[in-house]
Structure 1
Amino acid sequence: MSDATKPLLEVRGLQVEFTTQDGPVTAVHEASLTLGAGETLAIVGESGSGKSTTAMSIIGLLPGNGRVTAGSIRLDGQELVGASESTMRGVRGRRIGLVPQDPMSNLNPVARIGTQVAETLLAHGLATRKDVDEKVVATLEAAGLPDAAARAKQYPHEFSGGMRQRALIAIGLACRPQLLIADEPTSALDVTVQRTILDQLDEMTRELGTSVLLITHDLGLAAERAQQVVVMHRGRVVEQGPARQILEAPQHPYTQSLVKAAPSVAMARLRPEDFAERAAEGEEPAEVDAIVEFDGVSKHFPVRGSKDPFVAVDDLSLTVPRGTTVSIVGESGSGKTTTARMLLKAFEPTSGQVRWEGKDVFSLSRVEQREFRQKVQPVFQDPYSSLNPMFTIERIIEEPLSFYGKGSRGERQKRVRELLDQVALPTDMARRYPSELSGGQRQRVAIARALALNPDVIVCDEPVSALDVLVQDQILRLLGDLQRDLGLSYLFISHDLAVVRLISDYVGVMKDGRLVEAATSEEIFTNPRDPYTRALLASIPGNELKIA
């Protein structure tokens, strides 16, 4: 094999084991993959599939209780399994770069961005104290950060999510490595920011000739950005090959289930009903029975050191018809979450009215407010932080019942069991704690808690964005079933347009605090009128794929 065709990375028969209290656990079983020079290979799979463990084995950053027990990892012919720590220190950064998943927890919050880039350059001898500042600015500019000299002096909390991700890309590519491992590099970003970041990453790696190992659960992203795809399930490679071939004609049952569960704007509404059929034909309901109304609502926040406030929401009017799902979509900072929080009475509008059952929610009597709090319930984005880790599942679900004095202790326990059954969780889970549950199970618990008081309206703020595609599909179907069975109304907040397509009857698109377009879901996705809506739809990765 010539140098031109010789693989840059070869992983053969990789086995990784973790030591636990219950004994050794094998997380990766005989995994093999090959990545050519200048190519991009994506490893896809749900949480626990072994994809990140495989990547961390390559760069030698497994946790203290993890170790490679068998197999080979060769980088440009050099064996990395069994290499000394001093050897690996020379490999990390210089030959293998890393862009980790969460930019907020992987950047030092008390160090300036420039200082963190400088550390990498100085550690590998690519800059001196005399010229390091100049090279830091050049590195940040290459990552697409505007006004890099000023940005280098700022701290991570002063950056947006996209800017923080650019800073991590700058650090990962600062030493011009042969291989870059990008572990879910855009999972927390909006689609337009995601596309910008990935385009920048593609441009930089192409110029440097860097190969990319992309870790993702987003099948569209894998198909759009990678030449090769490796599918992992329970620590094993179950399928691999050319990206388009794998995702347009999957052979393994697990790959087929991943592809089937992946949301797409080409899909129809998950819950077919009379309304959806009328909407598809362009026919509106004869009379809208509004359960929630936003009427000319604006929300301004004061800005320190400025006389002009920040306008988070600007003159928004939107109706949630009873028994339907109305989604609000837009990028971070568009005002969608602020809108939801005004309905939940977390923020009071600067002007306009938020009405529930025809009543201004900020002018309710004490009795009406007590009823409102029971009838309008939230389900939050992060199932890890929205549940009290010190409470059992039973206590978490029972808490709203206890607070409002609903029934005796025995009746509340019976209600908890009913709610667990309603969200398809076993009743013996009541005795467990959140830490013992998966992300999908935790989100089911959050939904059960929201249902405890028999609400009419549930405000879902990015309820599936932290979940893998298979679990996401399960939760969306659960929400659809509950709406059909209980007549619930949803205000659904999301930046994921493919998810919105599956769950929504109506969609409102927000940009810079204003509602730029509002229509039926069918109309928004088949005939978007506003240029911003069209730009959002065009930014969805893998949107043009013809998946079987």
Structure 2
Amino acid sequence: MTFTEASAPLLSVQGLAVDFMTMDGVVHAVEGVDLEISAGETVAIVGESGSGKSTTAMAIIGLLASGGRVAAGSIRLDGREIAHASESEMRMVRGRSIGLVPQDPMSNLNPVAKIGTQVAETLLAHGLANRRDVDAKVVEALQAAGLPDPAQRAKQYPHEFSGGMRQRALIAIGLACKPRLLIADEPTSALDVTVQQTILDQLGQMTRELGTAVLLITHDLGLAAERAERVIVMHRGRVVEQGPARQILENPQHPYTQALVAAAPSVAVARLQPDAFIAKERQEEASADAPTRPDHIVEMANLTKVYPVRGRGEDFVAVKDVSLAIPRGETVAIVGESGSGKTTTARMLLKLIEPTSGTITYEGTDIARMDRAQTREFRQKVQPIFQDPYASLNPMFTIERLIAEPLDFYKRGSTTERRARVRQLLDDVALPQSMLRRYPSELSGGQRQRVAIARALALSPELIVCDEPVSALDVLVQDQILRLLGDLQREYGLSYLFISHDLAVVRLISDYVCVMKDGALVEAASSEEIFTNPRDPYTRRLLASIPGNELGIAS
């Protein structure tokens, strides 16, 4: 068929295969991918890490990582073959014909160059501005991306921007040359739901005004349902299903798509465990042995944390007069946007920072008044699980040494007993014994988080503080970790303080929910009440911001 601009799609990918040369040989990362995008259309590619979705996008724009190559297939943009275009040819395509909004704004913005300079580089490189008018066009681009006071913002550095502002700067760069196609690779995965909604609304408005087509790369099914006309599902380098977004997500045909949809957390679905009161029953059974133990393992009263700010008349109040309790054997979640004070509250509970005022009692004892022996006991009974399992695990230690580290530090048992305990912990988190000699870099994200959970369990704690423990994980792995946490809670009677900005996840894991905003507690109630009858306008706004909420799919 003869190509005509009227009948052909803007982008046509046929039989795409991408290989990577590694020390272990050739890795077939993408095999036989077909996709099309029409002018002005938004298409989403969904799938877990390693599915090939980002590799497909990078092949289209000619930015494959070292060792990668297009091994077969065709990539046609406006009818022009670009699969094997030279680097100089691709430099003319990038920015002007195909724009890119990458995932991590902090690592994709030059930390030592001003924001305006980085936008200007794109305009100057494609001849869309000269030295006389570039400043005005930079301001215009930043303003179009929704940045307030763009002239002033252009003079600032990335570290002076919030996460949402940095993402807007990347959108400004990606759309500065008014490309016909924009590749948005997980553009909001690190952002809170309200910021995410604002960014995506801005991106949608800009692309509609420019007539730009969008290829959205995401593992968020709710986001795909809400923002794309069509969805392409990838698994292990292949397209397993594609079609209209609503049809794919409401009536998935392929088993992998069905698994993705089933695993996606939803605010319409109640808590993961139907037997949520097993821990209560265990508590009642144990009450004869410990009749004086309080019902609440932790109580916080009028907790406040103030940070002095140099050169300013006012101090920064991170947490304001927060009072809450954690019932024994249950899960209390604290939700809110970045800067709401939820992580600061958790750090005070962990005795990593001291409160300015107020009290935290653990098992009826004020943790601020604990002596050295009591503090040592407290640190064994209260353990953290952090957001990034790779950053919280020493990359130089084997998995065995990582899990054994707290046992060694507190001299729990003999060497033989510690080794047996480590093996038991691997079984508890459903990891094979073959993992013992491996290093964190050899594990997937979900496996690393299981190791972090095993290490937190090593000392048989009573309370675990989970600070965004699944926010960096794909939906299937996230589902596995949430179920694991529920199973461990039922088996060991654990109490959890669960910190998250993802309300759909919180719905699945929590018995009680505390909503924080600007350091203050604005609403606290049972999970059922928060999600079915939210009282505070801020809580309602958080719930309304969840992508795909109206479909019952929200991740």
Aligned position for 2:327: 321
Q: 2:337 aligns with which of 331, 334, 355?
A: 331
Structure 1 stretches of 4+ moved >3 Å: 1-5, 274-278
Rounded to whole Å, the distance in 2 between the matches of 1:263 and 1:170 is 32
Residue 546 of structure 1 and its aligned partner are, at CA, apart by 5.0
Aligned position for 2:221: 219
Rounded to whole Å, the distance in 2 between the matches of 1:64 and 1:406 is 46
Residue 4 of structure 1 and its aligned partner are, at CA, apart by 4.1
Q: 1:369 aligns with which of 361, 366, 375?
A: 375
Residue 333 of structure 1 and its aligned partner are, at CA, apart by 0.2
Q: Deviations over 1:1-37 (max 9, x none)?
A: 8644431000000000000111111100100001010
Letter of the 1:25 partner, please give it: V
Aligned position for 1:496: 502
Rounded to whole Å, the distance in 1 between the matches of 2:323 and 2:241 is 49
Letter of the 2:75 partner, please give it: I
Is the counterpart of residue 545 in structure 1 residue 551 in structure 2? yes
Letter of the 2:113 partner, please give it: A
Is the counterpart of residue 409 in structure 1 residue 415 in structure 2? yes
1:5–1:36: 8 Å Cα contact kept in structure 2? Answer: no
> Unmatched 5+ residue regions in structure 2?
281-292
- 1:32-181 correspondence runs (5 A): 32-181=34-183
Letter of the 2:25 partner, please give it: G
Rounded to whole Å, the distance in 2 between the matches of 1:516 and 1:270 is 25
Aligned position for 1:507: 513
Letter of the 2:21 partner, please give it: T
Residue 124 of structure 1 and its aligned partner are, at CA, apart by 0.7
Rounded to whole Å, the distance in 1 between the matches of 2:8 and 2:517 is 48
Rounded to whole Å, the distance in 1 between the matches of 2:303 and 2:56 is 49
Q: What secondary structure is seen at the aligned counterpart in 2 of 1:169?
A: helix
Q: What secondary structure is seen at the aligned counterpart in 2 of 1:385?
A: coil
Letter of the 2:526 partner, please give it: T
Rounded to whole Å, the distance in 2 between the matches of 1:404 and 1:269 is 35
1:296–1:316: 8 Å Cα contact kept in structure 2? Answer: yes
Comparing 140-149 and 407-416, the one that deviates more:
407-416
Give the alignment's Cα RMSD to 1 decimal.
1.5
Q: Deviations over 1:407-442 (max 9, x none)?
A: 111111111000000000011211110011000000
Q: 1:477 aligns with which of 473, 478, 483?
A: 483
Residue 288 of structure 1 and its aligned partner are, at CA, apart by 7.5
Aligned position for 1:283: none
Cα gap change, 1:514/1:234 in structure 2, threshold over 3 Å: closer, same or farther? Answer: same
Aligned position for 1:532: 538
Is the counterpart of residue 26 in structure 1 residue 25 in structure 2? no
Rounded to whole Å, the distance in 1 between the matches of 2:368 and 2:407 is 24
Rounded to whole Å, the distance in 2 between the matches of 1:273 and 1:254 is 28
Rounded to whole Å, the distance in 2 between the matches of 1:2 and 1:547 is 39
Residue 185 of structure 1 and its aligned partner are, at CA, apart by 0.1
Aligned position for 1:522: 528
Is the counterpart of residue 393 in structure 1 residue 395 in structure 2? no
Residue 273 of structure 1 and its aligned partner are, at CA, apart by 2.3
Letter of the 1:187 partner, please give it: S
Letter of the 1:364 partner, please give it: M
Residue 64 of structure 1 and its aligned partner are, at CA, apart by 2.2
1:248–1:547: 8 Å Cα contact kept in structure 2? Answer: no
Rounded to whole Å, the distance in 2 between the matches of 1:380 and 1:36 is 42
Q: What secondary structure is seen at the aligned counterpart in 2 of 1:265?
A: coil
Aligned position for 1:251: 253
Rounded to whole Å, the distance in 1 between the matches of 2:130 and 2:308 is 43
Rounded to whole Å, the distance in 1 between the matches of 2:310 and 2:57 is 44
1:269–1:276: 8 Å Cα contact kept in structure 2? Answer: no
1:376–1:459: 8 Å Cα contact kept in structure 2? Answer: yes
2:11–2:77: 8 Å Cα contact kept in structure 1? Answer: yes
Rounded to whole Å, the distance in 1 between the matches of 2:185 and 2:213 is 14
Q: What secondary structure is seen at the aligned counterpart in 2 of 1:187?
A: coil
Q: What secondary structure is seen at the aligned counterpart in 1 of 2:45?
A: strand
Letter of the 1:333 partner, please give it: G
Q: How many residues align?
A: 540
Is the counterpart of residue 312 in structure 1 residue 312 in structure 2? no
Letter of the 2:127 partner, please give it: G
Rounded to whole Å, the distance in 1 between the matches of 2:342 and 2:419 is 36
Rounded to whole Å, the distance in 1 between the matches of 2:483 and 2:304 is 33
Q: 2:430 aligns with which of 416, 424, 427?
A: 424
Letter of the 2:131 partner, please give it: R
Letter of the 1:141 partner, please give it: Q
Cα gap change, 1:274/1:404 in structure 2, threshold over 3 Å: closer, same or farther? Answer: closer
Cα gap change, 1:118/1:274 in structure 2, threshold over 3 Å: closer, same or farther? Answer: closer
Rounded to whole Å, the distance in 1 between the matches of 2:161 and 2:278 is 41
Residue 275 of structure 1 and its aligned partner are, at CA, apart by 3.8
Rounded to whole Å, the distance in 1 between the matches of 2:55 and 2:175 is 21
Q: What secondary structure is seen at the aligned counterpart in 2 of 1:129?
A: coil
Letter of the 1:471 partner, please give it: V
Q: TM-score of the superposition, structure 1-length normalised?
A: 0.97
